[in-house]
Amino acid sequence: MVAPVLSLKWRSTLHSMRRDWWRVLVLVSGVIWSITLVPSVWFAQRVLSYQHPDLKTDALVATASVLVLGWCVVPLLLTGLDDTLEPTRFASLGVSARRLMPGMTVAAFLTVPALFFLAAMLVLALAWEPEPWPALPVALAGAGLTVAVMVMSARVAVGWGTRVLGSRRARLVALAAGAVIIAALAPAAVLLFRDGLELVLDYDVPVLISSLGATPIASGMAAPHAAADGDLLGVAWRLALPAAWVVLLHGAWRASVAHALVHPRQRGGGERRRDDRILATQARSERWDATLARVPGPLGVAARRVRARAAAPPAARAVRSRALRAWASDPRYLSAGVGAMVFPLLFFAVVMPSLGLATWWAYAVPLLLAASIGWGRHNDVAYDSTAMWLDLVSGRRGHAVMRGRVEATLAWAVPAVLAACVLAVLATGEWALAPGLVGAAIGALGATVGVSAVMAVAMPYRAPQPGSNPFTAEVGSLGAGLAAQVVSSFASAAIAPLVTVPFVLGVIVRPAWAGVSAVTGPVLGVAAVVLAVRVSGTLYDSRSGRLLGAVA
């Protein structure tokens, strides 16, 4: 079954390149980038070959650990570049996972990233050539096993990440695991803040590297040191550990493939009855109207007028309820929400301590979170592609549709940004700057959400279908996706300083500027959202047919 799978992979890749020339550009760019790195890798190998075996081992173990982490994380963030190994593509063929896995395994190692990192790790392993025999053969074997760990880790991360986001019980387990990981990282961040980078590098990092060298992640890179010392038993268990880990990861990948072949949509919670949020929202609105109708006198008249002006139209409430349900249950939305929080968290827990930045850099965390959430919705309309036909045939509902979708995003984004502001102020202790920080963060959120609302209608591209694997992309969407992301990035970068510069001046120049930010930030943010809803709603109605064709 290996030959048919490889043939199908090459044919799918060739057809996708003919259909979307951006894939050719990405492939050629990746090959050129890999070739340009060869001299650097060879130079690093030559430098390491003259170093002491202890330093050589530490450098290779640290490199392998970082690369394995990258292979686990990057495939979850950069999707759609290689969708030929998507298991659901084989669901209609009636082929079992047992027959399919040999071909998919070989195909996983024949990608450009896998081949490049295999070559790079083998070149780095040549640094053990000056050491006594059999250090070099062991180094080459350890490098190969480490690359196998990278490739299998990537496949397991994507496969099981989809299943985790597709089940309510699995999401709860993942949330608990995430809390444990954050709790484990918190002491490391506190240690970096307390002792400083130099002391951590001198005392704590060597202990960490030594511990990693005894794990399946990087024990293959530590095996040559044991071989040079004549410790054959140490060589055996250090090579056996990653080999066993590869077998275990391959079994986990096979289990996820077998599950995907019989659950192609990966929908979670479908067996459990759920309340209808749209009907519940309408009933709640009617109860409010009935309550206000019983208020007598001028106060009741004024309350009813305020209610009539502030309440969203029924169509907007229906779309908002539908989108809120998606934010709570759809794997695509959940992965987008988690992805928006990754970089701000890494900036606070890793970048700030590592670079020894002052504590006032914590103010950047809520601003980064707001911009990340807002920018990530630049393809918001396509995420609701299966319901778009219903919106279109209901009449000219563009303003209501876009208002409902924007309100659904803001319903959870505003509390998240406010919580980040509180944490940033707690880290710095400058409570006088809190109003300015909140204003700047709310302004950045409103500005970027407004840009994304317009981009979602002006430059849409196909997204994974509702309930499907969030870590893939539809064939032919790569070029349009890259173009939309680049344009939305420049637009967000151009408009965000209008609401953040006053607060930055308040931190660096004079605190009075933070008071300006407390006023201008929310005003400009709300104005951006209102204007974006009007513009995007008009575009939605005027190009509804082309919009449906672009995302369906």
pTM for this prediction: 0.63
Percent residues over pLDDT 70 in the chain = 77
Percent residues over pLDDT 90 in the chain = 11
Give the whole-angstrom CA distance, residue 540 versus residue 524.
23
CB contact set of 70 (below 8 Å; sequence gap of 6+): none
* Residue 272: per-residue pLDDT: 46
Rounded to the nearest 10 degrees, what angle do helices 434-458 and 512-542 cross at? Answer: 20
158: number of CA atoms within 13 Å, CB side? Answer: 30
Give the whole-angstrom CA distance, residue 223 versus residue 22.
42
- Specify the residue for token string 């575009």: 539
Q: How confident is the model at residue 270 (pLDDT cuts 50, 70, 90)?
A: very low
Give the whole-angstrom CA distance, residue 420 versus residue 418.
5
Residues 530-544 pLDDT 10s: 999 999 989 888 877
508-512 long-range Cβ contacts below 8 angstroms, 24+ apart = 511/432, 511/433
> For residue 442, which of 525, 501, 365, 508 has the smallest C-alpha distance?
525
What is the residue-wise DSSP string for 129-165? TTSPTTHHHHHHHHHHHHHHHHHHHHHHHHHHHHHHH
Residues 142-161 pLDDT 10s: 999 999 999 998 888 877 77
Mean pLDDT (whole number) for 255-259: 82
Give the whole-angstrom CA distance, residue 365 versus residue 370.
9
Residues 314-344 pLDDT 10s: 788 888 888 888 887 777 788 788 778 878 8
pLDDT(253) > 50: yes
Mean pLDDT, rounded, of the chain: 78
* Residue 102: per-residue pLDDT: 84
State the sign of the Cα–Cα–Cα–Cα dihedral 312, 314, 316, 319: positive
Q: Residue 421, exposed/middle/buried by CB under 10 A (0-12, 13-18, 19+)?
A: buried
* Residue 288: per-residue pLDDT: 67
The two structure tokens encoding residue 449: 């959400």
